[in-house]
Amino acid sequence: MFSNLKQQPADKILALMQAYREDPRDTKIDLGVGVYKNAEGVTPVMRAVKAAEKQLWEQQDSKSYVGLAGDPGFSDAMIDLVLGDSVARDTIAAAATPGGTGACRQAFEMIRWANPEARVFVSNPTWPNHISILKFLNIQTVEYRYFDNDTRGVDFEGMLADLKQAKKGDVVLLHGCCHNPTGANLNLAQWKEVVAVLLETGAIPMIDIAYQGFGDGLDEDAQATRLVASSVPECLIAASCSKNFGVYRERTGILMAIAADKGLKGLTQGSLNFLNRQNYSFPPDHGARVVTMILQDPALRADWAAELEEVRLSMLGLREQLAGELQRLSGSDRFGFLAQHRGMFSRLGTTPELVEVMRKEHAIYMVGDSRMNIAGLNKTSVPILAKAIIDAGV
């Protein structure tokens, strides 16, 4: 049987990580991996997470299963964090998942189950796991324009034109704050126009959000998601705690499904429970339990929010430093977009050939499409990167 399996393409980011590890140069910089790193190059355990885990270790007296949808307390805490009071709680079904990717997988499964003919509109670019899972499930995808390679901002006119091709029953996969791998984000006025198109076409939005708190603040970063969710009849939201709680390896995510009315909530919740049962029965609980404790305890929540704000400001500082250094070296403002982007990532908008030049000549490791992880920098490495970008002719 196994001889019938086909070799799958190698993961480009894993190959990049391996090449970085094997590079002997002391000045090498890793901008490829999508995890937050502090100035020392470490992905730390947040203070509130450590404190919550200590409490959990002392207080937890059972490792028995939780429900198929996970702990209801986790669902309530995450719905409050992401949606606030923007949507009536009695219309929201939710289920814990193994990370944000698990939430996306369950969402795509439910889309296919509810409407086998549904098309999913995905941005260019989007994250590889979106395309990979949709392809594996044989769900038709339609690409919509997003990134303008000339301005390094959003091609908003192209985006709207493409989204207007959606039909009732289709799904539009949207990126929450800081989530698009380019670092370019819509403003609130543009989000309102997207909502108008969704209402006009009857397409259902699905929002993937994993970086709440990394852009302009916890509530500010939730504005767009809350706007969309409160404006349309139905909505799917895949949320991850990996980044803003730093619990990457705990695989802590949630899928929320907003029904048109409270009468459909039971059916929707039962469907989420069923999908969890088919795929992994019970979702992981440790990370979800820790997140719930933090969000429900005022002192832990305040400390978590304070540390998250430190992370946010550090990345903004690195963006401004890099944009300023590039302005000094180039004598132009053409890299100003780096300070305007938000979150961990920015896309330089250059060619794979010049990305390779930076790797070979300057030991700068970034993905071939020129996406780079700003959190992979520190104050010392910013000038090194800036010089490499100018010397390579970007």
Two tokens at 384?
Answer: 């090194």
Q: Is 210 a catalytic residue?
A: yes
Query: Are residues 333 and 355 in contact, defined by beta-carbon separation less than 8 angstroms?
Result: no
Given the residues 77, 93, 127, 170, the one annotated as active site? 127
DSSP 3-state of 51? helix
What is the chain's percent helix, strand, coil content, to nearest 5?
Answer: 50, 15, 35
Q: Residues 208, 221, 285, 303: which is the catalytic one?
A: 208
Q: Is 127 a catalytic residue?
A: yes
**Pair 162, 144: CB distance under 8 Å:** yes
Contact 174, 191 (CB under 8 A): no
Candidate list 170, 229, 243, 265, residue with the active-site label: 243
d(CA 147, CA 26): 34
| Residues sharing a CB contact under 8 Å with residue 282, sequence separation 6 or more, in sequence order | 65, 66, 67, 68, 70, 276
User: Residue type for 37, please?
Assistant: K
Annotation says 148 is catalytic: no
In the annotation, is 208 catalytic?
yes
User: Which amino acid belongs to residue 210?
Assistant: A
- Which one is catalytic: 51, 52, 210, 224? 210
Helix, strand or coil for residue 342? Answer: coil
Complete edge-to-edge strand list for the sheet that includes strand 92-98? 92-98, 252-258, 235-240, 204-209, 171-175, 120-124, 141-145
CA dihedral 157, 158, 164, 170 (to 10 degrees): -130
- The three-class DSSP label of residue 102 is helix
Which residues are the active-site residues? 127, 208, 210, 243
